[in-house]
Amino acid sequence: MTTTTNTTNHAPSAAAAGTWQLGDRTVNRIGFGAMRLTGMPWDSAPRDRADAIAVLRRAIELGVNHIDTAAFYFLPTRSANELISTALQPYPDDLVITTKVGPTRSDQGEFEPYARPDQLRGQVELNIRQLGRDHIDIVNLRWGSGLDKESGSVAEHIGALADLREAGLIRHIGVSNITTDQLTEAMGITPVVCVQNRYGLTERTDDELVTLTREHDIAFVPFFAVGGSPRGIPDETGQAEVAAVAEAHGATPAQVRLAWTLHRGPHVLAIPGTGNPAHLDENIAAGALQLSDDELARLDGIAPAG
């Protein structure tokens, strides 16, 4: 079935992708990732503050009710958490804010030694202060040093977050950048509501984790689902196949990649991030894109399953 995602008559809606139960909260499967709100450290200049605030408010207008952020998303003159707080307070009742703890950065932006379990409370409290809330809906333990997720037991850190949930600072617990064994370990300690790993059309190493989360009704929330690198260098693997599917739907290749991700299962959420209002509308519209079985098979063949 062919569905055109771009329309001049109606604004896109995050509700078009359907919903998922994220802990005890219902969210639209298309959300928003705040990492790029400030601009990236290697950009020539930070993003315009007014533009970032406008993008956040536009996201809420389009039905986004799940925002992913972190206190370590900052530049010397910009903080993602502060932008969210400024743009969206008073927060909508249905808005779920997810943050991450574990990595630490100095005031100059350099990554420092990974947080010990006893340091996680300070990180959670920092997010609470920056966001202007009295608790955080979901806190993900962002595991590993750099991009290394093969780094042993998560038990002590997950246990520390469970204590913070009992103290009322956290509503739910998630994990990020982890392996299937680490997820299983975490689930043995406390309920886990989401897993956030790098995953997409050409990044299939976590197919097993997608299956495991589906079996346990845990949300799988991929980052960099559109492909490419954190520095914005596009991934051109399978470019011709993606472009052909995009043309058939009057869509963009990025929309096709997002739609493919959402087709991986009803528990898969998307948190594409941007500081560009036009790109925001395109990302939200991707949730309405329905790919046929033949198109999915064609796209599946671009990269081998993990």
Kindly list the structural domains of the chain, giving each domain's residue range(s) and its CATH number in brackets, ordered by start. Answer: 31-233+268-275 (3.20.20.100)
Average pLDDT value over all residues in the chain: 91
Residue 3: pLDDT over 70: no
Catalytic residues: 73
pLDDT for 204 beyond 60? yes
Q: How confident is the model at residue 5 (pLDDT cuts 50, 70, 90)?
A: very low
Cα–Cα distance, 196 to 293 (Å, whole number): 26
pLDDT of amino acid 63? 97
What is the reported pLDDT for 146?
62
Query: What whole-number percentage of the chain has pLDDT above 70?
Result: 92
**pTM, whole model, 2 decimals?**
0.93
Cα separation of 145 and 230, whole Å? 16
212-223 average pLDDT score: 97
Average pLDDT over residues 37-52: 85
